[in-house]
Amino acid sequence: MKPGVLILGGTGEARALAAALVHRPDVRVVSSLAGRVSDPRLPEGEVRVGGFGGPGRLASWLRDQGIHAVVDATHPFAERITASAVRATAEAEIPLLILRRSGWRQEAGDDWHWVSSLEDAARSLPALGRRVFLTTGRQGLPAFTGLDDLWFLIRTVDPPEPPLPRHCHLLLDRGPYTLEGELSLMRAHRVDTLVTKDSGGTMTRAKLAAARQLGLPVVVVRRPPLPEAPTAVTVHEALVWLNDVRINPGNRME
């Protein structure tokens, strides 16, 4: 059996890494998706969908499948998956790399308000506006349900589970988005405040430029801290790391 690389994916970086590795004759590449999106963009190569059942079962799976390195290329806010990967790879004595794209950077003209959680974001909104463009994903929406004096435009990929804010309009859509499209959307709904997580990347960055052009305040939820583990911010850095750990049978982390 060829030595395996497990990519914990769902992001563009995960798909790009799989594409860079899948044609190598000396490596088996397996991409794992959490299964939370109904119609995900699938990477090249072997794909498994669904959870592993906890760190212990993931560690057993890694050993049984001959995995010699794991790259956690999940969303920057996928704390639970990352924590599970750290524990599982330590138990299985397999090297782990956390691949996280850089966060967004504030530019001249931006009016950003940094917060540490969705709950903090919700608490900040009454002082900022009345018509909120909420782009934090379908999980965590209950944090905003008590704000009955505000109206929300909620954009998610898949339909969220209730409860939702009392006054809202739900928009199901998937990026990438354009500046022109975001400007048109915000103007049509008379949005006066934007809420986002610091996800980074280019897929949804246009909303920040649109808010800047319209002079709107933006509430930005900070990323959770990363655990102690090797990290990379680009696919190229991840490929260099994989070469450095020498993905060969019998060459597990000591």
User: How confident is the model over 162-213, as pLDDT tens digits?
Assistant: 999 999 999 999 999 999 999 999 999 999 999 999 999 999 999 999 999 9
Beta strands in 13-126 (DSSP E): 28-33, 46-49, 67-72, 96-99, 111-115
Q: What is the pLDDT of residues 88-135, one digit of tens each?
A: 999 999 999 999 999 999 999 999 999 999 999 999 999 999 999 999
Give the residue numbers spanning the domain of 217. Answer: 111-221
State whether 124 and 209 are in the same domain.
yes
pLDDT in tens, 44-100: 999 999 889 899 999 999 999 999 999 999 999 999 999 999 999 999 999 999 999
Task: Establish if 182 belongs to a structural domain.
Answer: yes
Same domain flag for 171 and 128: yes
Q: Distance of CA 232 to CAs 11, 192, 245, Å? A: 14, 36, 14
Can you tell me the distance from the alpha carbon of 241 to that of 245, in angstroms, rounded to the nearest whole number?
6
CATH number of the domain encompassing residue 117: 3.40.50
In a domain, 189, yes or no: yes
- CA dist., res. 123 & res. 125, Å (int): 6
What is the residue type of 83? A
Running DSSP on this structure, what letter comes out for residue 112? E
- Assess whether 132 and 206 both reside in one domain: yes
| Shared domain check, 46 and 136 | no
Kindly state whether residues 66 and 122 are assigned to the same domain.
Answer: no
Does residue 91 sit in the same domain as residue 142? Answer: no
Together in a domain, 87 and 150: no
Residues 145, 185: one domain?
yes
Q: Would 250 be classed as within a structural domain?
A: no
Residues 188 and 135 in one domain: yes
The pTM assigned to this predicted structure is 0.89
The per-residue pLDDT for 37 is: 66
Q: Is residue 249 packed enough to be buried (19+ CB in 10 Å), middle (13-18) or exposed (0-12)?
A: exposed
**Which tokens in the block code for residue 90?**
């330590």
- pLDDT, tens digit (0-9, with 9 covering 90-100), for 141-155: 999 999 999 999 999
12, 78: one domain: yes
CATH classification at residue 236: 3.40.50.720
CA 156/CA 138 separation, integer angstroms: 6
Between CA 207 and CA 100 the distance in angstroms is: 21
Asked whether residue 195 is domain-assigned, the answer is yes
Same domain, 213 and 240: no
Q: CA 21 → CA 11, 47, 85, 225, distances in Å?
A: 16, 13, 20, 28
Residue 146 lies in a domain: yes
pLDDT classification of 214: cutoffs 50, 70, 90 = very high
The verdict on residue 24 lying in a domain is: yes
* Residue 252 placed within a domain: no
Q: Say yes or no to pLDDT of 38 above 70.
A: no
Q: Is residue 49 part of a domain?
A: yes
Number of domains in the chain: 2
A 10 A CB-CB count for 228 gives: 8
Half-sphere exposure of 215 (CA within 13 A, CB side): 0
